[in-house]
Structure 1
Amino acid sequence: MNETVTVVVQRVMPAPPEVVFDEWLDPEALEEWMCPNPVRVVDVTVEARVGGTVRFDVDDSGTSVLISGQFLTIDRPRLLRFTWSNSNWEDPTRASIVNVTFDPVGTDETLMSIEHSLLPTSEFESFHGGWIATFEQLAARLESAVP
């Protein structure tokens, strides 16, 4: 049976929606904040169009992992949706779905919410903790960029 789980994480980011949204499509930015440390992104491909590729080559403590997917929705600055597959999953062809929303809070903050669905059940803890840590890293990057 192919049971799946959904991970939901939210955090207020210290920047307006346009700025936070653009971080998701900037390969240099993604190398810096995507994936929880000590896992490192060593290469990023982003074809920012519906049907375009999103790909992260990741070094997980010496193990190479390929994360790949396709953009389903790009609605700047409100919504980003893409598929996500991991080369180290039991079934590496299995696609999960990442849904990221960006809601303005006041004048210069954003409530960023992620809903990562269709994940293999065994991956819940890893992704729940992973997205929380990844959001922390993005928040820290945005804070350091505030003038």
Structure 2
Amino acid sequence: MTDTVTVVVSRVMPAPPAVVFDEWLDPEALQEWMCPNPVRVVEVTIEPRVGGTVRFDVDDSGTGVLISGQFLTIDRPRLLRFTWSNSNWEDPSQASIVAVTFEPVGVGETLMSIEHSLLPTSEFESFHSGWIDTFAQLDARLASTVR
């Protein structure tokens, strides 16, 4: 078994939990904010049911990367859990687990937290900074669409 690490990132989002939650299941929205720029999501496949597909076709500076997984839990608007594998990992069959929680805070705001576990040790830094940047992109999108 390969050593693994867990990345945890939290941020208060400027929208209620149901709105923030739905961003994770909306292919057009995901294409806009998922993956830290300049990495671009070219195509998104989402089947929002337990066992359904999660798939991001990504362009990382000209290199194609496939991120794929399956939904494990969909508890709107509190929790999303899904598996995550990257085609460019040393072992592309290795599955990590993403758990995203949505807690109401303040008025119309959400504390969104991600725990991305079972990541290859070598990926800690890129995923830690990547999720921070991705959360900032989602925050900006919500701030411009919710207000």
TM-score with structure 1 setting the length: 0.99
| 2:108 maps to 1:97 | no
| 2:29 maps to 1:21 | no
Please give the alpha-carbon distance, in whole angstroms, between the structure 1 residues aligned to 2:54 and 2:114: 17
Please give the alpha-carbon distance, in whole angstroms, between the structure 2 residues aligned to 1:105 and 1:145: 19
1:64-103 correspondence to structure 2 within 5 Å: 64-103=64-103
Task: Report the equivalent of 2:12.
Answer: 12
1:17-56 correspondence to structure 2 within 5 Å: 17-56=17-56
Flag structure 2 segments of 5+ consecutive residues without an equivalent.
Answer: none
How far off its partner does 1:89 sit? 0.1
In structure 2, give the amino acid aligned to 1:117.
Answer: S
In structure 1, give the amino acid aligned to 2:124.
Answer: F
Residue correspondences, number: 147
C-alpha deviations, 1:21-64, integer Å up to 9, x for none?
A: 00000000000000000000000000000000000000000000
Please give the alpha-carbon distance, in whole angstroms, between the structure 2 residues aligned to 1:146 and 1:21: 13
How far off its partner does 1:106 sit? 2.1
How far off its partner does 1:16 sit? 0.1
Superposition misfits of 4+ residues, deviation over 4 angstroms: none
1:57-68 correspondence to structure 2 within 5 Å: 57-68=57-68
Task: Report the equivalent of 2:123.
Answer: 123
Please give the alpha-carbon distance, in whole angstroms, between the structure 2 residues aligned to 1:146 and 1:74: 23
RMSD: 0.6
In structure 2, give the amino acid aligned to 1:22.
Answer: D
1:132-147 correspondence to structure 2 within 5 Å: 132-147=132-147
Please give the alpha-carbon distance, in whole angstroms, between the structure 2 residues aligned to 1:51 and 1:146: 30
Please give the alpha-carbon distance, in whole angstroms, between the structure 2 residues aligned to 1:24 and 1:59: 19
Flag structure 1 segments of 5+ consecutive residues without an equivalent.
Answer: none
Please give the alpha-carbon distance, in whole angstroms, between the structure 1 residues aligned to 2:94 and 2:146: 39
TM-score with structure 2 setting the length: 0.99
Please give the alpha-carbon distance, in whole angstroms, between the structure 2 residues aligned to 1:84 and 1:146: 29
In structure 1, give the amino acid aligned to 2:99.
Answer: N
SS at match of 1:29: helix
